């Protein structure tokens, strides 16, 4: 992406329709309920998903904020069965190494309630794989490297946008992070500047799909958020 070097030029943002406080509460409650119905699934239907839907969801991800608006991400959307098979084979090799590594006993114990293992059939069954790459640095027109800022944070936010967009479009997904992930750069033909972040398997949930009970347990709100309200004044140390 070419960056225009012109100085700061303020423009008006896209106009938002005014919404009353009561309407905002109603909208936020509906959105909360919709998002709380989202679950990671491992059992996909092979039912086709239109590319236009995937494209729109990725466009949502690309609207995310990023460091200096440099948008340090790249998405590779794959429906080709041969490429998906290559990814599955390579991922399972790394997964088998992971599950056989006794040094990871603590991590493996944490995964036990979720029933995970080294076999990853979803990487072929799901109609789409979206491989998300973090662009560690950009390149100017003259070939000079351009530093990107807050790359992991920016890519993480964009990934959250993408997962939400997929869910709100009626699709399910599974985040997959084989380690190491170098094989993804080769299969997806990405340059050295790109580092694979994760794979999203995307599609419709299978009719007989199950989810682990452990995945439905969420921390209470007061454990994950502290609200400091205008009428709440607390002095520490007194």
Q: What is the DSSP string of 175-235?
A: EE--SS-HHHHHHTT--TTEEEEEEEEEEPBPTT----GGGG----HHHH-----TT----
* pLDDT at res. 238: 45
State residue 195's pLDDT score.
96
**pLDDT value of position 231:** 64
Name residue 76's beta-bridge partners. Answer: 131
Q: What is the pLDDT along the chain (238 residues), one digit of tens a residue?
A: 555 556 788 888 888 888 999 999 999 999 999 999 999 999 999 999 999 999 999 999 999 999 999 999 999 999 999 999 999 999 999 988 888 875 667 877 787 877 778 889 999 999 999 999 999 999 888 889 999 999 999 999 999 999 999 999 999 999 999 888 999 999 999 999 999 999 999 999 999 999 989 889 999 999 999 988 876 555 545 4
Whose CA is closest to 138, among 72, 62, 63?
72
Rounded CA separation 115/104 (Å): 16
Give pLDDT, residue 14. 83
Distance separating alpha carbons of residues 69 and 124, to the nearest angstrom: 34
55, 114, 191, 230 from 217: Cα distances, Å: 32, 12, 40, 31
**Bond into 180 cis (ω within 30):** yes
pLDDT in tens, 20-35: 999 999 999 999 999 9
pLDDT, position 34 = 97
Cα–Cα distance for residue pair 66/192, rounded to 1 Å: 21
User: pTM (2 decimals)?
Assistant: 0.88
The 10s digit of each residue's pLDDT in 132-163 is 999 999 988 888 999 999 999 999 999 999 99
Domain boundaries, the chain: 38-224
Residues in the chain: 238
Query: Do 185 and 196 meet the contact criterion of CB atoms below 8 Å apart?
Result: yes
Q: What angle (nearest 5°) sits at the alpha carbon of residue 152, between those of residues 149 and 158?
A: 100
- CATH superfamily, region 38-224: NADH Oxidase (3.40.109.10)
Residue-level pLDDT at 6 = 67
């Amino acid at each position: 992406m070419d960056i225009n070097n012109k100085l700061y030029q303020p423009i008006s943002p896209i106009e938002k329709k005014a919404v009353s406080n009561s309407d905002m509460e109603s909208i936020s409650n509906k959105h909360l309920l919709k998002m709380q119905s989202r679950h990671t699934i491992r059992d996909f239907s092979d039912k086709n998903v239109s590319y236009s839907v995937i494209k729109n969801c990725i466009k949502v991800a690309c609207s995310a904020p990023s460091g200096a608006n440099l948008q340090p991400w790249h998405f590779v959307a794959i429906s080709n069965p041969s490429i998906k098979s290559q990814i599955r084979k390579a991922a399972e090799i790394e997964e088998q190494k992971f599950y056989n590594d006794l040094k990871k006993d603590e991590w493996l114990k944490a995964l036990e309630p979720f029933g995970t293992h080294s076999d990853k059939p979803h990487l072929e069954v799901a109609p789409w794989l979206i491989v998300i790459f973090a662009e560690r640095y950009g390149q100017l027109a003259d070939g000079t490297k351009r530093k990107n800022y807050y790359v992991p944070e920016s890519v993480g936010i964009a990934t959250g946008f993408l997962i939400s967009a997929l869910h709100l479009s009626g699709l399910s997904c599974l985040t997959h992070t084989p380690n190491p992930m170098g094989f993804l750069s080769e299969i997806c033909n990405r340059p050295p500047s790109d580092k694979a972040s994760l794979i999203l398997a995307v599609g419709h949930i299978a009719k007989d799909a199950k989810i682990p009970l452990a995945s439905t347990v969420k921390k209470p709100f007061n454990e994950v958020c502290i609200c400091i309200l205008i009428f709440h004044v607390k002095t520490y140390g007194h």
